[in-house]
Amino acid sequence: MLSERQRLILTAIVDDYIRSAEPVGSRSISKRGDVTFSPATIRNEMADLEELGLLEQPHTSAGRVPSNKGYRYYVDHLVTPGGVGEQDVLKIRTFFAEKMNHWEDVIGHASTILSQLTNYTSIVLGPEMFSTSLKHFQLLPLNETSAVAIIVTNTGHVEHRTVTIPEGIEMDDLDKIVRLLNDKLNGVPFFRVKSVLYSEIASELGRYVDRCQQILAVLEQSLGDSHDPRVHLTGAANMLIQPEFKDVDKAKHILDVLEETAKLSQLFTSAPGGIQIRIGTENAMAAINECSLITATYSIDGQSLGTIGILGPTRMEYGKVISLLDYLSKDIAVLLSRWYK
């Protein structure tokens, strides 16, 4: 347990370092208004904090820098979110007032706002289809061998892919089957579709055609693998602003990872709701071990739909980002629920 004074000093150091990106010395802290002790006293406390592993020293004659553990303590006990500025709220309002044609536009806009307001990189996961239910299923033949399968969810989300039609299937049969599927599957949540498919419908399908195995294959083609949510990445170039990444090689490693958007979604191991913060090496990927990732989930009716997040250096404006993510995740929820209600 830290003393009140230690907490005060740790806060001062972290705050200063977040602003300046330079090691913080005892003198500069004592000159701040909120700390009344002499540099010598502060030095003693800093030595203790270093022994506890909360601070680090780049070299003997430099000031102190928060360690990962120090940041962890800071976000767990010291940081004060402070709310979202009036200016920022206004920007968000005007940005979301724009016309949006797709579900995904909301998500994309959110991503842009996040990176603009923070000057960090924003990563936003679109709603997973599996948390919604099927509204409409359709197979549109293009020619003898292939068709476009279109799936619409109750939220207005559209998925589509080109599928191969097995030989020997009649158009009429396909039509019947699609109609049957729409009857049976309408309103069924996606995570249950497959089981319903096999338990209730597989038998009925037998009545219409004998080649039902192949039909099911087409269905699986249509539904399968649609698991990966859309990833919106904005402001990747903002990484280059940070002094810690002024070294081009470091920056490249990070940007390389960011480009593989598919892998990014793995970073977002489903948060238990609310804000989640991963500092430095707490992140699974080695390439971003000098970054912190803060995420928040947005949800409708308690059903968590997706995640918005900010990636920046460990020296990140935690308070500001937390407020913003909290605010925006709720905002998105409102927007989306209005969207399809």
Which residues of this chain interact with DNA, rule CB under 7 A? 5, 23-28, 36-41, 43-44, 46-47, 50, 57-64
Nearer to DNA, 57 or 337 (CB): 57
Q: CB under 5 to 8 A by kind: which of DNA, a second copy, none does 235 bind?
A: a second copy
Which parts of 248-307 interact with a second copy (CB under 8 A)? 248, 251-252, 255-256, 258-259
Between 50 and 89, how does the x/- string for binding to a second copy read (CB under 8 A)? ----------------------------------------
Residue 339 in the binding site for a second copy (CB under 8 A): yes
Q: Exposed (0-12), middle (13-18) or buried (19+): which is 7, by Cβ within 10 Å?
A: middle
Question: Cβ 88 to a second copy, closest distance in Å?
Answer: 21
Nearer to a second copy, 257 or 322 (CB): 257
Which residues are registered as beta bridge partners of 151? 137, 159
Residue 95 token pair: 């940005």
Of 232, 221, 175, 173, whose CA–CA distance to 197 is shortest?
221
d(CA 294, CA 49): 25
C-alpha distances (whole Å) from 106 to each of 71, 102, 238 are 32, 7, 22
Between 216 and 235, how does the x/- string for binding to a second copy read (CB under 8 A)? ---------x--------xx
Residue 48 token pair: 């203790």
d(CA 147, CA 115): 39
Residue 127 in the binding site for a second copy (CB under 8 A): no
Question: Cβ 97 to a second copy, closest distance in Å?
Answer: 15
Question: Strand, helix or coil at 299?
Answer: strand
Question: Cβ 330 to a second copy, closest distance in Å?
Answer: 22
- In the chain, the amino acid numbered 160 is H
Q: CB under 5 to 8 A by kind: which of DNA, a second copy, none does 146 bind?
A: a second copy
| Torsion, CA 310, CA 316, CA 320, CA 323, rounded to 10 | 50
Q: CB under 5 to 8 A by kind: which of a second copy, DNA, none does 27 bind?
A: DNA
Which span sits near a second copy by CB under 8 A: 36-44, 71-79, 148-156, 298-306?
148-156
Q: CB under 5 to 8 A by kind: which of a second copy, DNA, none does 102 bind?
A: a second copy
Residues in the chain: 341
Residue 27 in the binding site for a second copy (CB under 8 A): no
Question: Cβ 10 to DNA, closest distance in Å?
Answer: 13
d(CA 266, CA 313): 19
Sign of torsion over alpha carbons 152, 155, 157, 159? negative
Which span sits near a second copy by CB under 8 A: 16-24, 49-57, 240-248, 327-335?
240-248
Alpha carbon distance, N-terminus to C-terminus of the chain: 50
Is residue 215 within 8 A of residue 201, CB to CB? The reply is no
d(CA 113, CA 106): 11
Q: Which helix (H) or strand (E) holds 298?
A: strand 291-300
Nearer to DNA, 29 or 305 (CB): 29
Question: Cβ 248 to DNA, closest distance in Å?
Answer: 16
Residues that bind a second copy (CB under 8 A): 100-103, 135-136, 138, 140, 142-143, 146, 148, 150, 152, 154, 156, 158, 160-163, 225, 234-237, 240-241, 245-246, 248, 251-252, 255-256, 258-259, 339-341
